[in-house]
């Protein structure tokens, strides 16, 4: 099995085409606008109990407890728990598109600034392995 980061551009395109075909076929079969089906599919995925892209508050709390609120960005030397009431706590996903992606072993607390910002800032040209990271469905919030 592959996770999101291992998908090739060809595989991503094939999945998009299959999704588009599902929406168009359902639209034809059920006499419902494709736009309505796409909106419903989007809402379903946003709130899906397993596949949702964003963590629930319960999942965030479990991660905070597991890591005692301490930033897990490897270069970070600050071992003080991050105050969840201040706006500098961000939950970072080590991988996306894997089972239990919002579980505490994969989703870890980071300082929003500078740690999470540094983790995701564009890398130099000699490290292109991460450049495709932001592409894909939605592209809204980063990990
Ligand atoms: Zn940090």
Q: Are 89 and 33 members of one domain?
A: no
Q: Mind listing the pLDDT tens digit for each residue in 106-119?
A: 999 999 999 999 99
Q: Are 12 and 35 members of one domain?
A: yes
Q: Separation of 92 CA from ligand 1 center, angstroms? A: 11
Segments in the chain forming alpha helices (H):
9-30, 34-47, 57-66, 117-120
pLDDT of residue 123: 72
Q: Note down the domain range covering 74.
A: 55-124
Residue 10 pLDDT exceeds 90: yes
Q: Separation of 103 CA from ligand 1 center, angstroms? A: 20
Residue 96 lies in a domain: yes
Give the span between the Cα atoms of 100 and 132, in whole angstroms: 22
Q: Separation of 33 CA from ligand 1 center, angstroms? A: 47
Residue 131 lies in a domain: no
Strand partners, 54: none
Residue 108 lies in a domain: yes
Q: Separation of 125 CA from ligand 1 center, angstroms? A: 25
Counting other chains too, the contacts that 23-29 makes at CB distance below 8 Å and 24 or more residues apart are none
Residue 103 lies in a domain: yes
Give the span between the Cα atoms of 77 and 111, in whole angstroms: 11
Q: Are 66 and 93 members of one domain?
A: yes
Q: Mind listing the pLDDT tens digit for each residue in 18-68?
A: 999 999 999 999 999 999 999 999 999 999 999 999 999 999 999 999 999
Domain count, the chain: 2
Average predicted confidence (pLDDT) for the chain: 89
| DSSP single-letter state for residue 52 | -
């Amino acid at each position: 099995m592959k996770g999101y980061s291992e998908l090739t551009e060809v595989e991503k395109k094939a999945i998009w085409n299959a999704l588009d075909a599902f929406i168009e076929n359902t639209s034809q079969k059920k006499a419902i606008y494709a736009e309505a089906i796409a909106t419903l599919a989007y809402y379903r995925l946003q709130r899906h109990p397993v596949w949702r892209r964003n963590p629930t508050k319960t999942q965030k709390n479990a991660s905070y407890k597991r890591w005692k609120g301490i930033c897990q960005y490897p270069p970070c030397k600050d071992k003080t728990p991050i105050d969840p009431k201040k706006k500098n706590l961000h939950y970072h996903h080590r991988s996306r598109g894997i089972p239990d992606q919002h579980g505490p072993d994969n989703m870890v607390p980071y300082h929003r600034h500078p740690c999470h910002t540094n983790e995701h800032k564009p890398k130099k040209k000699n490290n292109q392995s991460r450049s495709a990271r932001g592409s894909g469905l939605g592209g809204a919030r980063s990990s």
